[in-house]
Amino acid sequence: MRKLMVALAAGAMFAASTFAAFAEEATGAIASIDPAAGTVTLESGETFLLPEGFDAASLVVGDQVTITYEEGEGGQMSASEVMPSS
């Protein structure tokens, strides 16, 4: 049983590190927020789909943020995390 638990834990850590390897980051000022569409656009012109359940009202145009995201099919950039940056 213990060997099985160690193997499962190792597999989970590998999966988590693999996910992080595909994630990218973008940093910049927020140019616009579309709560209805669930998107945020940076001044660079990049638009990101916010994570499900994310409170778009917590964002303010002009705030500096760092967005961790993955680019999916068709170029859609899906954010997994939106954090204030300094």
Residue 23 one-letter amino acid: A
Q: In which domain, by residue range, is 63 found?
A: 23-84
Residue 6 inside a domain? The answer is no
Residue 72 inside a domain? The answer is yes
pLDDT in tens, 9-59: 656 665 554 444 578 999 999 999 999 999 999 999 999 999 999 999 999
Any idea what the CATH number is for the domain that residue 79 is in? 2.40.50.140
Residue 11 inside a domain? The answer is no
CA distances in angstroms from 61 to 32, 34, 38, 64, 84, listed in the order given: 6, 11, 14, 9, 12
Up-side HSE of residue 69: CA atoms within 13 Å toward CB? 23
Cα 8 vs. chain centroid, distance in angstroms? 26
Residue 10 inside a domain? The answer is no
Residue 76 inside a domain? The answer is yes
Closest by CA position to 46, among listed 76, 4, 15, 83: 76
Residue 15 inside a domain? The answer is no
pTM over 0.75: no
Residue 53: per-residue pLDDT: 93
